[in-house]
Structure 1
Amino acid sequence: MMRIVVCVKAVPASTEVRMDPVTHTIVRDGGSAVVNPFDAAALEVALRIKEERAARGLDSRVSVLSMGIPATEELLRDCIARGADEALLLSDRAFAGADTLATSYALSCGLRELGGFDLIICGKMAVDGDTAQIGPMLAGLFDVLCITDVRDTLVSDTFLSSPGRIRARHGVDGGIETVEAPLPAVITVAKDIAQPRMPSIAGVLAARDAEVSVLGAAEVDADAARIGLSGSPTQVVRSFVPERVGEVELIEGTVAEQARRVAELIGEAGR
């Protein structure tokens, strides 16, 4: 049995978001949330690996793991409808306000609750935070190798026959590189690595009755000093929506006069 865990984050479905004035983090009320597009691609990669192994008569289990508000459970059910075998949601007020380090630690507790892993697949980044840190941090917490920005998974015979090694093409400065890593490992994938499938009717019916485990901090034995806002070494000091001015000035005169006025406007903008 190969254990594949996909980390999923709920992100706002709209660019119109509200910020908490105290924690300076996004207010997540679950009203219009979707699965982070990069994570949706990660799930599709996991399901394709599962199918390739199944074609050889080999078993795989795809688990989906998330941390968020209770409403995130519905998004995890959608992942089950698409083919995931199980889902675990970490939901507790104690997790609120976490930065990427505190989030990674909480997810590591959830991974242990799932019974470990052979391969963790994360989206390269989340569209609401754009840090691209969760995958590498999880790899660090478990002391395994991490391949970031994977554009294509080149599963080898050893990968398909047993938890051996994974080969992948990933983005680097100036091009694409092919690398290989022993399992267990973590990979983070680009959004265009795969087009997520639509859930089937049978999948939707199965997801409706599936049990999504929802556990709090105490239930996963998380250290209170390492989770949430108090366990986050980085803090958002200030957040704001930039003011946009729609004024237009028509510059007339000779070429020299126009040039002087443009220089003045550039100088004013820099102050």
Structure 2
Amino acid sequence: MALPSVPRFGSLFPDPLNVRRGIPLYYLKSEEENRRDVYERYDELVARQTALHLADELHGGYPLRKVSDYIRQWLPDLADAAAVDIGCSVGRQIADIAGGHPNWDCYGLDFSYQMVRQAQDYWKEGKTLNPNLLRFGYPTVALQGQVLPNLHFALADAKTLPFPDRSLDLIVNTFLIDRLPDLSATFAEWLRVLKPGGRLITISPLNFLQLDHWRQHYPPMKIIDPLLRDGWDLLDLTDPLMIHEPMDARGNEVVWKTLAFVVESPC
């Protein structure tokens, strides 16, 4: 009797368009796109995201634990799975999944090279990060990274994913869908790459930046109803899931009234 094959982690990634510092690029951003993307400002927002997601010691625990808890509650019960976090920032959510499921093949995608680079350095190469957090009133910290062999990062566009059809068991996205220019096209792309019965976990404050997006997608049932008409199965709808994001050492914070939902793709 043949032994089960060992999964080749990262095998769902095809050949990239380019590679930068070991990071596959599946979208080549123009200079204008880089200029407009606030998350390409390494010393400002990347440091802040690093403090939020990786520097638990500054906060007495992970500030977005409610996000992680919600995701963990709705992870599929599978021994082996392929999972991706789209808009992964510095990789905390998908790293928690990969660390807790060493047999899963896990991927983190973001549209910001600087975010992906930080995630790669911390979770793949085990580097120690020393973010400059003085402007937020925090002391200098040394954040020791980890090496997760079942986790891979890349730069990609959320609506043009580098995965084969019906190849993923799970898509996670947090604080993302209110930043996407074409939400219906994005959901169609996510349906393409999910296996039948594959799971989508979404958490978003619905903090749209454009008036047209408010008109198209608010209230939240304008997002949920089209999914149901397309055959997705709704497993959970939590509105609101309240998230408190610390801003500085003084204790200032932003309170996000997020929409959280879980759906499974049509079988």
TM-score normalised by the chain length of structure 1: 0.32
* Higher gyration radius (CA): 1
TM-score normalised by the chain length of structure 2: 0.32
